Amino acid sequence: MLIYNTMKREKEFFEKKSYDKNINLFVCGPTVYDDAHIGHGRTYIAFDMIKSYLEFIGYSVFYIENITDIDDKIIMRAKENNIDPSDLAIYYEKRFKEDMKKLNVDSVNLYPRATYHMNEIFNQIQVLIDKGFAYETETGVYYETAKFKDFGKLSNRDLEKLDSHRINVDSSKKDPKDFALWKKTNEKPYYESKWGNGRPGWHIEDTAITERYFGPQYDIHGGGLDLIFPHHDAEIAQMEAISGKEPMVKYWMHTGFLNVDGVKMSKSLGNFITIRDLIEKWDPMAYRLFVLSTHYRSPIDFSSKSLEQASKNLNRLNKTLDNLNEILVKLKKFTSIEIDNDLNNKESTNNLDEVDLAKKEFIKNMEDDFNTPRALATILSFTKTINSNIKSINEKKENEICIDDYKFFEKSLLLLKDFNSIFRINLFEIKDEIKEDKSSELLEIIVNTRKKLRESKNYQLSDEIRDKLNELEIEIEDW
């Protein structure tokens, strides 16, 4: 399997020792001061898919996504709403998890909060000071980037041409590029430390958390492209300085940017879309399929037209599954045909190799850096083959059907199950929704039947039906 490694700027073979089937995956989580937007959804759907595929091919993946629950944005938003910052963080963390569940992003094993790992943060800061990589000033504790010779190696930037990035210029720092590990303040909320009251810097929480659960080195670190510099560069500088081991992470993976109608999403432009806004208008599974219709590293453009196309593809997959289930029911009696040599010797119009070839092509695309658009194209193309063969079977006489016809559709169904286990777009769960719709139609028939009974003055039978429905907690009133 090939994975594009941001550090190497090329695809590499994913390598693990043959006996080691465990993978540690960390993805930068949200700062919980507002509702999650569709850009968050894009990144977390991608890594949910990545974990699903890795487990499909036999790995056991432990997936961590941190929750930044102490940050200037949280404090500012809490002041605006006159509530405690921790209450605000808990509120939006809950809503974030609800949103992720609606997108079927539920494969994260652990959501560790930054504020629950203050001891780990303190320990890492102290080690960096002891090793000469950090220094204290009147405003905080800072990482001295000049001491780490490879600082910026992930972003591959010429740091000599940079003064600072997402770092406030502070005259107490030795270099504008030095970043905060601890920010001193007596403004609540703050934490007591040997360096004075304050709050942790942005970058230190991630390495404190990953070292706690994974140790100093692990398999995969993910996030959006916008986090490469300075955030991920800072993580590398911290962890590799602390441990003396490199690489901190074997494979760095990053998702591309999301635009809305070709323009960067922004509240000031009025094109900012939260996940909650999204699911008021669109099926969340259509959005998930839209995301996976573009390679995770490529930029993606959100528009009504693109969501409509994703919805059509989702409907096409569902319709094919309906057709498959119907034909399998029709051909069910042929599951025991093996004992009938005459039927076994008949020539099938379905080629079983077509299913194997489609699955091989699907896996080949997924093995190529999780190429979901090509993998999806393979499955969508194969749905044409399925539906064409269903049409042929329906035109056959019963005595022309053979066991391989049934086997073709059975194998096709298994392929769609494999596809759904990776893309996780609720293909098979949707059947329950259809059953609910039919239940509503059945209830309408019952209500209309009671109406006719009452019109014909058959009140006794009408009342019996009403009473039985009431026993099932289905309330019907006669007016």
The pLDDT of residue 164 is 47
The pLDDT of residue 434 is 46
d(CA 148, CA 95): 39
Please report, as a single letter, which amino acid is at residue 433: E
The token pair at 94 is 């809950």
d(CA 18, CA 27): 25
- Report in angstroms the alpha-carbon separations of 107 from 53, 54, 153, 247, 298: 12, 12, 31, 26, 23
Q: Exposed (0-12), middle (13-18) or buried (19+): which is 185, by Cβ within 10 Å?
A: middle
202 neighbors 110 (Cβ within 8 angstroms): no
The token pair at 338 is 């093996």
Q: What does DSSP say about strands 258-260 and 263-264: parallel, antiparallel, or unpaired? A: antiparallel
The pLDDT of residue 412 is 97
The pLDDT of residue 400 is 79
Residue indicated by tokens 């921790």: 86
Average pLDDT over residues 294-300: 98
d(CA 438, CA 458): 27
Residue 335 in this model has a pLDDT that exceeds 60: no
Per-residue pLDDT band for 109 (boundaries 50, 70, 90) equals: very high
Q: What does DSSP say about strands 179-184 and 140-143: parallel, antiparallel, or unpaired? A: antiparallel
Residue 128 in this model has a pLDDT that exceeds 60: yes
Mean pLDDT of the chain: 91
Residue 433 in this model has a pLDDT that exceeds 50: no
Task: Name the residue with higher pLDDT: 189 or 459.
Answer: 189
Task: Name the residue with higher pLDDT: 147 or 158.
Answer: 147
153 contact partners, CB below 8 Å, separation of at least 6 = 7, 233, 236
Residue 289 in this model has a pLDDT that exceeds 80: yes
How does pLDDT run across 349-405, given as a tens digit for each residue? 568 899 999 999 999 999 999 999 999 999 999 999 999 999 999 888 877 788 888
Share of the chain above pLDDT 70, in %: 91
Average pLDDT over residues 226-242: 98
Average pLDDT over residues 282-304: 98
- In total, the chain counts a number of residues equal to 479
Average pLDDT over residues 279-293: 98
Q: Which of 286-300, 342-356, 460-474 has the highest mean pLDDT?
A: 286-300
d(CA 113, CA 154): 26
The token pair at 335 is 């599951």
How far is it between the farthest Cα atoms of the chain? 94
- Report in angstroms the alpha-carbon separations of 72 from 30, 66, 394: 14, 17, 65
Q: Is 82 left (phi over 0), alpha (psi -120 to 50) or beta?
A: left
Task: Name the residue with higher pLDDT: 269 or 387.
Answer: 387
The pLDDT of residue 193 is 98
The pLDDT of residue 182 is 98
d(CA 454, CA 146): 89
Per-residue pLDDT band for 451 (boundaries 50, 70, 90) equals: confident
Strand residues in 225-341 grouped as ranges (E): 249-255, 258-260, 263-264, 300-302
Per-residue pLDDT band for 337 (boundaries 50, 70, 90) equals: very low
Q: Which of 305, 314, 306 is nearest to 286 (CA)?
A: 314
Residue 162 in this model has a pLDDT that exceeds 90: no
Quote the pTM value: 0.87
- Report in angstroms the alpha-carbon separations of 255 from 96, 141, 222, 300: 19, 31, 8, 10
The pLDDT of residue 456 is 85
Per-residue pLDDT band for 199 (boundaries 50, 70, 90) equals: very high
Task: Name the residue with higher pLDDT: 31 or 398.
Answer: 31
How does pLDDT run across 49-75, given as a tens digit for each residue? 999 999 999 999 999 999 999 999 999
Residue 77 in this model has a pLDDT that exceeds 60: yes
Per-residue pLDDT band for 339 (boundaries 50, 70, 90) equals: very low
The pLDDT of residue 432 is 45
Q: Is 251 left (phi over 0), alpha (psi -120 to 50) or beta?
A: beta
251: β partners: 220
The pLDDT of residue 348 is 56
- Cβ neighbours around 182 below 10 Å, total: 26
Q: Which of 117, 76, 315 is nearest to 207 (CA)?
A: 117
Average pLDDT over residues 163-179: 76
15 neighbors 23 (Cβ within 8 angstroms): no
Q: Which of 36, 112, 34 is nearest to 76 (CA)?
A: 34
Per-residue pLDDT band for 1 (boundaries 50, 70, 90) equals: very high
**How many degrees, rounded to 5, is the angle at CA 399 between CA 395 and CA 402?**
85
d(CA 475, CA 472): 8
- Helix or strand (DSSP H, E) at 218: strand 218-224
The pLDDT of residue 473 is 61
The pLDDT of residue 467 is 75
